[in-house]
Amino acid sequence: MSDLRRVMCVEDDADIRMILEFSLGTVGGYEVRCCAGGRSALQQAPEFRPDLVLLDVMMPDLSGPETLAALRELPVMQGVPVVFMTAKAMPDELEQLLQHGATGLIVKPFDPMTLPTDIRPYWEHGRGRPAA
């Protein structure tokens, strides 16, 4: 794990998945794997071995916090930073979200041109750390 290469995105909105592919893949040059929900992320994580996960908060079926808790159980996910993406904006709501043990938070709408560099600090500071 010498560099940030593989980024997994978990997002139920197909259009936002496309933006993320473009932003992190085309602009950022990362290897991107987009999943439409928490269950698919849990299935694909062991094989994809992400260096960082961007996780939407409000998803049907399995929510962001629920997915985060389940991901943390996977051996392959130990020490992998998980960053929430959320369209919520109230500071108290954001604080509550971080208490679920995510490494950080990206607020939607995000700038797709700077997102590849915006996520780097979370990887640099969050990797290798045990889950909170």
The footprint of other proteins (CB under 8 A) covers 13, 15-16, 19, 22-23, 26-27, 58, 87-93, 108-113
Query: At closest approach, how far in Å is the CB of 36 from other proteins?
Result: 14
Burial 1-26 (b: 16+ CB within 10 A, else e): eeebebbbbbbbeeebbebbeebbbe
Query: At closest approach, how far in Å is the CB of 26 from other proteins?
Result: 5
Comparison of 11 and 51: residue with beta carbon closer to other proteins: 11
User: Hey, what amino acid is at 34?
Assistant: C
Comparison of 73 and 93: residue with beta carbon closer to other proteins: 93
As a whole number of angstroms, the distance between CA 79 and CA 4 comes to 13
